Each structure stands twice: as structure tokens, then as C-alpha cells.
């Protein structure tokens, strides 16, 4: 594949510039072992990808009763950073919230846990700072005054630079940001959320909130766990996680139209799905959770896909969004 000139965007209203395609490292240690992960990260840098996203919990089964493998993704990235010497070329993002042990304080967003979780991530990543430290989920049992106090301390100590959220509702973002504003702090620069052509729920309230506060969107699962890569052809392996939760049959009619549309554009369904996200002004970078170098290259190829107003309107017809609240349900 010919390399594509990478596009760089501001992460929300911050001055930080990140590659429009970000490397999602959730599969490292699970679906991709260290040799494959090293190859993917090497190729990512060659392609101009500078945003690497992981979480303390990545690397094993995402179940609180099975802690085996937790932290492995960060460890693999840390080994690669040490070997490659490319730490200063990378905008490194990780997350905290999920259980990392069996104790009552080994999870969520208390100041107690955030301090320890951050320090543990730094050890695994073999670095002295995290560029974007993200709250992996909302914790409505912990006051934002406590969360921001902990984040501000980590910033003051030079352990983190920016703060992001993930899987927040619109009102969670607003509450968090208004609390930060009251403390005269920068607050959130990004929100990482589920967003793709098959699931546009966040257009109702979350995206308007992000636009209002100048917070950049980082979509995860841009291919809807494989659904938007297209239906398997005859003889093609069908072992995809999408089959567990989003069977192709659910979107059968839409996928048929979508594949015809993509063929007329001369692009693959995976390229078009990611290109559509890149055409959304709120998107700062999208997470390409690549298990192989080839999957990463497909994501980067989406930068070459141009969608005019007519094409975007056709995608809206095939994959309609919910509209913006309250007009979407009131009048």
C-alpha cells in the first residue's frame, strides 16, 4: 500500500495536535502478541500515526473476575517505547477506572485509586508522563471536586498533561467541565465514545455538549466490531466478535445498500466507514483497533476517501442518525 500523508488535528480546543488516525492498542497482549504489536507500532509511526491509545485494563479478558493479562497492553507499549526510543514522537493516552485488583479501592475514580493507577501505568509504560489520562467510565459515586483535585495533583507532579473522559453521557461531560471551570482548570480536552454508522446515538446530546465546551471526540469501534467491514464473502472466515453482539442479519438490508454504494465509490466498506467519521467536524482522531498491520493500513487509507455532500447525504439515508435533542423527540 502506498503511504498516505497523515492529517493532524487539534485534540479538542487544546493546542495538542494528534493524527487523524489513532492506534488503538486494546488487542495488544490478547489478539496480538508482542512481535505483532511491535510490527504494528513500527508501521504506525512510519504512516505518521502519533496517537497511541490504551488502558490499564487492556491485555486480557475484560471481566472483573479474570484479572489475568490486565496491564499487558501497557507493558508491551512500554517495551516498544524503550526499544524504539520514540517516546517523544508519541502522544500517549491511557485510562483508569476498571478493576485492577480484588480490593474495594482497586477501581473507579477516587483520588486514592487515581494516584495509584497512574503510577502503576507509568511503571508499565516505562515513561515518566502520560500525555492524555482518561477516565475510562463515569463514576457518579465520586464527586468531581475529588476527581479534579487528584488530576490537578498529577498534572502538578508532571505525571499527566491532559485529561480526557470516555463513555460519558452529555450531562456527565457538562457536570465535569463546569466543575473544572469553577476551579479555573482546563478540564476535559477529549471524550472517547462509541460512534459509527450503525450507532449514532451520541448525536442526540453528547456531541452537542462536546461542541459547546470545545471537547474533541475520539470514536471507538469505528467499524462496529467488524460489521462495517462488510459481510463475509463465500469461504471467508466469519469468526468476528461482531457476530457475538451485532449479527450481520440485524443490518442485512442496510449492508446490502451500503456495499453497493461503496463499490460505486471504488472504496472498501471499511475505508468508507472510517472516512465518514473523519468528515465529522467534532472528531479529533479515531481509534483504529488494529490486530494486524493490514488493518491499520486500511484505516489510514480512509484519509484518501473524499465524500461530497451528495455522498454524505446517501450515507445518512442508509444509516440514519437520531437527530439532535430535544427536537429529535419533542417537536
- CA angle 324–306–12, rounded 5-degree value: 50
Compute the distance between CA of residue 22 and CA of residue 36 in angstroms, rounded to an integer.
17
H-only helix segments in the chain = 34-46, 72-84, 111-125, 144-156, 170-182, 206-213, 242-245, 252-265, 269-278, 293-301, 309-318
Distance of alpha carbon 3 from the chain centroid: 23
Compute the distance between CA of residue 105 and CA of residue 323 in angstroms, rounded to an integer.
40
For residues 28 and 59, the answer to whether their CB atoms sit within 8 Å is: yes
**58 is known as an active-site residue:** yes
For residues 159 and 119, the answer to whether their CB atoms sit within 8 Å is: yes
Compute the distance between CA of residue 139 and CA of residue 198 in angstroms, rounded to an integer.
27
Place of cell 492524555: 132
Q: Are strands 130-135 and 91-96 parallel, antiparallel or unpaired?
A: parallel
Q: What's the grid cell of residue 181?
A: 471551570
Compute the distance between CA of residue 90 and CA of residue 45 in angstroms, rounded to an integer.
9
Looking at the DSSP bridge assignments, the partners of residue 92 are: 52
Residue 46 burial class via C-beta count within 10 angstroms: exposed 0-12, middle 13-18, buried 19 and up: exposed
Annotated catalytic residue within 58, 133, 162, 195: 58
The CA radius of gyration of the chain, in Å to the nearest whole number, is: 19
Residues forming the active site: 58
Amino acid at each position: 500500500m502506498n503511504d498516505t500523508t497523515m492529517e493532524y488535528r487539534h485534540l479538542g480546543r487544546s493546542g495538542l495536535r494528534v493524527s487523524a488516525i489513532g492506534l488503538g492498542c486494546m488487542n495488544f497482549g490478547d489478539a496480538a502478541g508482542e512481535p505483532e504489536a511491535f510490527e504494528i507500532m513500527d508501521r504506525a509511526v512510519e504512516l505518521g500515526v502519533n496517537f497511541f491509545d490504551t488502558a490499564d485494563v487492556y491485555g486480557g479478558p475484560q471481566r472483573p473476575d479474570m484479572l489475568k493479562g490486565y496491564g499487558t497492553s501497557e507493558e508491551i507499549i512500554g517495551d516498544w517505547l524503550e526499544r524504539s526510543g520514540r517516546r517523544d514522537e508519541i502522544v500517549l493516552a491511557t485510562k483508569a477506572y476498571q478493576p485492577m485488583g480484588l480490593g474495594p479501592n482497586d477501581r473507579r475514580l477516587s483520588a486514592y485509586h487515581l494516584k495509584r493507577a497512574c503510577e502503576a501505568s507509568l511503571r508499565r509504560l516505562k515513561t515518566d508522563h502520560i500525555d492524555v489520562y482518561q477516565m475510562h467510565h463515569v463514576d457518579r459515586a465520586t464527586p468531581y471536586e475529588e476527581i479534579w483535585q487528584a488530576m490537578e495533583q498529577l498534572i502538578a507532579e508532571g505525571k499527566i498533561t491532559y485529561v480526557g473522559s470516555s463513555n460519558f453521557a452529555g450531562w456527565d461531560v457538562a457536570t465535569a467541565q463546569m466543575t473544572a471551570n469553577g476551579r479555573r482548570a482546563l478540564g476535559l480536552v477529549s471524550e472517547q465514545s462509541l460512534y459509527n454508522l450503525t450507532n449514532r446515538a451520541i448525536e442526540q446530546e453528547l456531541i452537542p455538549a462536546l461542541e459547546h465546551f470545545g471537547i474533541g471526540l475520539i470514536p471507538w469501534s469505528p467499524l462496529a466490531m467488524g460489521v462495517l467491514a462488510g459481510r463475509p464473502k463465500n469461504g471467508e472466515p466469519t469468526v468476528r466478535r461482531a457476530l457475538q453482539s451485532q449479527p450481520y442479519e440485524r443490518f442485512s438490508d442496510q449492508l446490502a445498500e451500503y456495499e453497493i454504494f461503496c463499490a460505486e465509490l471504488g472504496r472498501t466498506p471499511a475505508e468508507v466507514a472510517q472516512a465518514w467519521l473523519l468528515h465529522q467536524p467534532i472528531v479529533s482522531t479515531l481509534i483504529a483497533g488494529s490486530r494486524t498491520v493490514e488493518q491499520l493500513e486500511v484505516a489510514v487509507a480512509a484519509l484518501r476517501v473524499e465524500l461530497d455532500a451528495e455522498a454524505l447525504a446517501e450515507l445518512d439515508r442508509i444509516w440514519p442518525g437520531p437527530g439532535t435533542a430535544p427536537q429529535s423527540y419533542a417537536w
